[in-house]
Amino acid sequence: MISFLRGQVLAKHKNYFIVLVHDVGYQVFVNQTLFSEFVAGQPVELYTHQYIKEDALDLYGFKNIQEMEMFELLLSISGVGPKSALGILSVAKTDELKLAISRGDSSILTKVSGVGKKTAERIVLELREKVLAVGDGDLAGGAVSQSLAQSDEIDALLALGYSLQQAREALREVDPALKSSSERIRAALKMLAR
């Protein structure tokens, strides 16, 4: 299995890079967020998932192990293929996906082309318990309380009449130096009032 590549972006196409590693070019499919971060000629390091099927032998690339593990969890759901899983990883950061799934919120998943309401609900249902165990325990300990605080902040903005997307986007832009939930909510409200 090919699990990691370090090389240079030789070329970019619609949804993949050709990564040059010691005179060999690997076609690596990536999500749109990662795709937009690199230009041809730039050095790149990618964790990879090798997807093998009767009619396919594809590589999918990720910025970090947590993204790759989330991709693999998504693939474990019936009806979710690699393209849909990549699309889900383009919609939100891994931590935001984990938080949404752990809260039972499937709305973030339905923004992805090819993921309908039933599939999104199945993803949440099947991954709700597993998602907390993914990766290096980044939702354990202090991160759990941080996730719960963020959940409370989102709930507060929802109660004030803002949509889930508006709440998420505003909180994402809040200065990370602000630790108090009330300060973060105030800062988010200022951004939403613009």
Q: Which of 158, 156, 160, 164 is nearest to 182 (CA)?
A: 156
SS3 45: strand
What single-letter DSSP state applies at residue 112? S
For 193, the token pair is: 């009032």
pLDDT at 55 (0 to 100): 87
Question: What CATH number belongs to 4-63?
Answer: 2.40.50.140
Start-to-end Cα distance in the chain: 49
Q: How far apart are CA 169 and CA 157, in angstroms?
A: 11
pLDDT at 143 (0 to 100): 47
Q: In this structure, are residues 147 and 99 in contact, taking their beta carbons and an 8 Å threshold?
A: yes
Instruction: Report the sign of the C-alpha dihedral through residues 154, 157, 162, 167, in that order.
Output: negative
pLDDT at 175 (0 to 100): 84
pLDDT at 48 (0 to 100): 95
Per-residue pLDDT 10s for the chain (194 aa) are: 889 999 999 999 989 999 999 999 999 999 988 999 999 999 999 999 999 988 889 999 999 998 999 999 999 988 889 999 999 998 888 888 888 888 888 888 888 877 888 888 888 888 887 775 544 444 444 444 455 556 677 778 888 888 877 887 888 888 888 878 888 888 889 888 87
Domain 66-136 top-level CATH class = mainly alpha
For 184, the token pair is: 């973060």
pLDDT at 150 (0 to 100): 67
Domain boundaries, the chain: 4-63, 66-136, 141-194
Q: Which fold has domain 141-194?
A: Helicase, Ruva Protein; domain 3 (1.10.8)
Q: How far apart are CA 123 and CA 121, in angstroms?
A: 5
Q: In this structure, are residues 11 and 18 in contact, taking their beta carbons and an 8 Å threshold?
A: yes
Reported as type and span, the H/E element at residue 19 is: strand 16-21
pLDDT at 58 (0 to 100): 94
